[in-house]
């Protein structure tokens, strides 16, 4: 029987788990992908947006016409804006002026008010997007600041939904969980639930080359010399997110821009799954991990694929962008684009 839903928010969660068949052929384990792009806002962030907003409603902080504030140019902004529409809240997002115009258009199409703040100032400058968001939230009555990097409701959303879904979809047979860490909410919240069911499940976090999470996990220290800019959006951080429950994570694997970009495209070509850049990152982490760790045929590995590739058409899926990064030769012979200039009889 086909289901009918009351509104778009009823479609959040219960995302499919799909076996990967070709991209994983060197790995003896069975590998599944949890496709978070099947959420209505096309990413894992729908779960935290709904959970945090509904928690504020239960506490009576949000009423119709209230305002939701966050600093994001990415998936969390799209999800908050979508939830805000259905529930009748204003949504104010502070983003940096490095944000691509199509993303700002996307947020505005969902009714968000967007503050564009200079990226070149320090985090504590009153013009920075952190400070702007904090000020707007403080000055706006009946508002909440989502604060996804430090809000414990972020991992809790995954503890209550993503983790139990994976446990039930694998019938409790999962042995390894891999996910990218930005705020860390997706991985550590899911992991907390799964480890309560079976403490032997191995939890592997994916970090970016240029981020501090892996070293912090291993040493408890921040090494500023490791921080550099990188292209993968939503992965890694230059601060320690309070939402990341480090004790739930066994190990981190660090991936670089180039490998993750190629693997993103490989998944599209081999599995027909158009994932975002971090979809490639998590698969790339599995490849690197499998060089150090011997999987057995009884292992059941779950990778969380966070969002949809349509958001990256001008980036990893674009040959010119790949060339501009030095990830593809400029003189590459293209045989997938055929210009028809005349018709032959």
Cβ proximity to ligand PMP: between 117 and 235 the closer is 235
Identify the CA nearest to 49 among candidates 198, 133, 158, 123.
158
Q: Does the protein bind ligand PMP through residue 107 (CB under 6 A)?
A: no
Residue 322 near residue 328, CB atoms below 8 Å: yes
Among 181, 208, 267, 316, binds ligand PMP (CB under 6 A): 181
- Give me Rg for the CA atoms of the chain: 20
Alpha carbon separation from 250 to 133, 202, 203, 269 (Å, rounded) = 34, 6, 5, 31
In angstroms, give the least distance from the CB of 126 to ligand PMP.
25
Q: Which residues are catalytic?
A: 45
Site string for ligand PMP, 305-324 (x = CB under 6 A): -xx-----------------
Binding segment (CB under 6 A) for ligand PMP, from list 23-31, 121-129, 168-176, 232-240: 232-240
Using CA atoms, how far apart are residues 176 and 300, in angstroms rounded to an integer?
6
Among 83, 92, 153, 180, binds ligand PMP (CB under 6 A): 180
Cβ proximity to ligand PMP: between 206 and 299 the closer is 206
Among 13, 163, 184, 210, binds ligand PMP (CB under 6 A): 184
Q: Does the protein bind ligand PMP through residue 186 (CB under 6 A)?
A: yes
In angstroms, give the least distance from the CB of 8 to ligand PMP.
20
Identify the CA nearest to 9 among candidates 57, 38, 41.
41
In angstroms, give the least distance from the CB of 109 to ligand PMP.
19
In angstroms, give the least distance from the CB of 253 to ligand PMP.
14
C-alpha angle 113-120-222 in degrees, rounded to nearest 5: 105
What is the chain's length? Answer: 345
Using CA atoms, how far apart are residues 228 and 76, in angstroms rounded to an integer?
23
Tally Cβ neighbours within 10 Å of residue 313.
Answer: 12
Q: Does the protein bind ligand PMP through residue 234 (CB under 6 A)?
A: yes
Tell me which residues touch ligand PMP (CB under 6 A).
74-75, 180-186, 233-235, 276, 278, 306-307
């Amino acid at each position: 029987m086909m289901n009918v839903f009351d509104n778009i928010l009823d479609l959040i969660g219960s995302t499919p788990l799909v076996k990967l068949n070709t991209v994983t052929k060197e790995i003896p384990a069975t590998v599944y992908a949890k496709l978070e792009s099947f959420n209505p806002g096309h990413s894992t962030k729908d779960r935290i947006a709904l959970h945090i907003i509904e928690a504020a409603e239960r506490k009576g902080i949000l009423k119709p016409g209230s305002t939701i504030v966050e600093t994001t140019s990415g998936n969390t902004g799209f999800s908050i804006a979508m939830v805000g529409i259905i529930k009748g809240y204003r949504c104010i997002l502070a983003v940096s002026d490095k944000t691509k115009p199509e993303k700002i258009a996307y947020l505005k199409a969902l009714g968000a008010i967007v503050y564009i703040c200079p990226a070149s100032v320090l985090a504590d400058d009153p013009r920075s997007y952190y400070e702007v968001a904090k000020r707007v939230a403080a000055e706006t009555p009946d508002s909440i600041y989502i604060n996804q990097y430090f809000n414990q409701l972020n991992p809790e959303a995954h503890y209550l939904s993503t983790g139990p879904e994976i446990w039930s979809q694998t019938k409790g047979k999962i042995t390894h969980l891999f996910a990218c860490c930005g705020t860390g909410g997706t991985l550590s919240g899911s992991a907390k639930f799964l480890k309560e069911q079976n403490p032997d499940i191995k939890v592997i976090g994916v970090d970016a080359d240029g981020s501090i999470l892996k070293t912090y996990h291993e040493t408890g220290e921040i090494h500023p010399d490791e921080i550099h800019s990188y292209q993968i959006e939503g992965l890694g951080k230059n601060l320690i997110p309070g939402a990341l429950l480090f004790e739930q994570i066994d190990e981190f694997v660090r991936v670089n821009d180039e490998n993750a970009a190629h693997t993103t495209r490989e998944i599209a070509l081999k599995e027909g799954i158009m994932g975002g850049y971090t979809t490639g990152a998590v698969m790339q982490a599995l490849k690197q991990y499998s060089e150090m760790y011997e999987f057995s045929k009884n292992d059941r590995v779950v990778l969380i694929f966070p969002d949809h590739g349509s958001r990256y058409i001008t980036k990893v899926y674009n040959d010119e962008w790949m060339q501009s990064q030095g990830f593809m030769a400029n003189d590459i012979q293209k045989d997938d684009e055929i210009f028809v200039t005349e018709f032959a009889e």
